[in-house]
Amino acid sequence: MTYSSSPEPSFEPGASLADVGEFGLISAITSRFEQGEQVLIGPGDDAAVLRVRTGHVVVSTDLMVEGRHFRRDWASASDVGHRAAAQNISDINAMGGRATSLTIGLAAPADLEAQWALDFAQGFADECALVGASVVGGDLTRADQVVVAVTVMGACTVAPVVRSGAAPGDVLALAGRQGWAAGGLAVLGRGFRSPRVLVEAYRRPQPPYDAGPAAADAGATAMIDVSDGLLSEAGHLATASGVAVDVRTDALEVPEPLHAVAAALGGVDPVAFMLSGGDDHALLATFPAGTALPEGWSVIGEVREGEGVTVDGAPWTGETGWTHF
């Protein structure tokens, strides 16, 4: 992927989307999206045309709705762009693949500052650049609130790792930060901005983009992106595979900032952030017992005969994760 050193277009301070118009905004936004070698036709036509190499093509779609998934007073436009890209790229990561191309649908109020849309686009583009993916198209429309719809396409060089392959005797392993974004959300929800490291983790996740392909190469039997909560996602994996999953809390390394937030909230168990928190986009996977796990992966439990999810061998009565309805 190549990048131009020419200045990026911007708008007059305070100019709204209605002021700059649909096509002026499209032109400014698409200038921020550099195209990789896999793109034969990018933004500007009725559809993008991509070069497909050997392997499997994997596709996923995700939505972000203002007030439901983000607040503009809690996260900058660039942060929202990073988050929107990250949560989609992570879905490809969870299949053991790498994202190559994305499209964006953006709906927004006419009085939204046009610079917000440009900053969002830049954050989105910067996150995509971390994996060498290109934004190849999208759509704009007017709405009462900001809504972002993203479709991501990627490729797996080996067979995709699905949720339904776990077997009794497998180990359960985790890669990436977990619970950090939940801690940040708890802080923001109480009107604070510290510990800053947790707030920044909520605003801009750091998914382990190399962990998915590495797990696939190492023989992972099942894998899932932790977007809504570790126990919630473990439940999806258990149901799809027809097995039981047990999570060991003594295997979870709770970072110091989570201890600090838990204490400030009145003795909340910091492990709860890790068990039910989402938005870090860590990966949860199962491997045959005895597998040499790739760098960044650690065993946090096991797969057993049966059904459902337990914590330290017992039912969990607390929150398991985010639900949309």
Q: Which residues are bridge partners to 124 per DSSP?
A: none
Output the pLDDT for position 21.
84
Output the pLDDT for position 172.
98
Question: Is 227 part of any known ligand binding site?
Answer: yes
Domain 17-156 has CATH 3.50.50.60: no
Question: Is 83 part of any known ligand binding site?
Answer: no
For the stretch 37-62, what's the b/e string if a residue is b when 16 or more beta carbons lie within 10 angstroms of its beta carbon? Answer: ebbeebbeeeebebeeeeeeebebeb
Peptide bond preceding 195 in cis form (omega within 30 of 0):
yes
Given a contact cutoff of 8 angstroms between Cβ atoms, the answer to whether 170 and 289 are in contact is yes
Rg (the chain; Cα; Å)? 20
Least confident of 9-23, 237-251, 304-318: 9-23
Question: Which one is the CATH code of 163-311: 3.30.1360.120, 3.40.190.170, 3.90.650.10, 3.40.50.2020?
Answer: 3.90.650.10
Given a contact cutoff of 8 angstroms between Cβ atoms, the answer to whether 51 and 136 are in contact is no
Q: Which residues lie below 8 Å from residue 211, measured CB to CB, with a gap of 6+?
A: 93, 175, 176, 283, 294, 296, 297
Output the pLDDT for position 4.
38
Euclidean distance between CA atoms 285 and 296, whole angstroms: 12
Q: What is the mean pLDDT of residues 228-250?
A: 97
Nearest one of 213, 67, 232 to 132, comparing CA atoms = 213
Given a contact cutoff of 8 angstroms between Cβ atoms, the answer to whether 179 and 279 are in contact is no
**Beta-strand relationship, 222-226 and 282-287:** antiparallel
Mean pLDDT of all residues in the chain?
Answer: 92
Residue 230 clears pLDDT 90, i.e. is over it: yes
Q: How far is CA 46 from CA 105, 106, 138, 148, in A?
A: 14, 17, 10, 20
Output the pLDDT for position 5.
37
Q: What is the mean pLDDT of residues 172-181?
A: 98
Residue type, 234: A
Question: Is 225 part of any known ligand binding site?
Answer: yes
Question: Is 217 part of any known ligand binding site?
Answer: no
Q: Higher pLDDT residue, 168 or 321?
A: 168
Euclidean distance between CA atoms 238 and 244, whole angstroms: 6
pTM of the model: 0.87
Euclidean distance between CA atoms 315 and 146, whole angstroms: 39
Question: Is 170 part of any known ligand binding site?
Answer: no
Question: Is 69 part of any known ligand binding site?
Answer: yes
Question: Is 61 part of any known ligand binding site?
Answer: yes
Nearest one of 216, 202, 222, 195 to 281, comparing CA atoms = 202
Phi, psi of 100 (to 5 degrees): -120, -35
**Which alpha helices (DSSP H) does the chain contain, by range?**
17-20, 22-30, 77-93, 114-129, 180-189, 196-203, 211-218, 230-241, 256-264, 270-276
Question: Is 163 part of any known ligand binding site?
Answer: yes
Residue 103 — very low, low, confident or very high, per pLDDT cuts 50/70/90?
Answer: very high
Domain ranges of the chain: 17-156, 163-311
Helices and strands: H and E segment counts in the chain: 10, 12
